[in-house]
Amino acid sequence: MPYHKNKQQAFQAAQQSMEDVEEQYDVIDKHASTYGQQLNHLSQEIAETYEQIQNALEVASEHQKEQLLKFQTDLDAITHQVQSENKK
């Protein structure tokens, strides 16, 4: 993903990436034969989202930083849940 210097573009890219992760996480089916592929794709999306958030934090306004840090916390929670499910 290209690095966005514009505050609004960077924030929107991180926001969209976060929405994509949440959507993918919601549709994962543990019982599907493609579960491993779904997890792999989700992991890639999570990594890209962390990168988008970090890029956006570099140029974000204070209000945007608060929201980006919330995205990061939410992403951490999703990551933890996925890891917990894999240990079962």
Q: The whole model's pTM is what?
A: 0.86
Exposure string (b/e) for 30-43, b if CB count within 10 Å is 16 or more?
eeeeeeeebbeebe
CA–chain centroid gap for 20, Å, is 7
Q: 11-63, pLDDT tens digit by residue?
A: 999 999 999 999 999 999 888 899 989 999 999 999 999 999 999 999 999 99
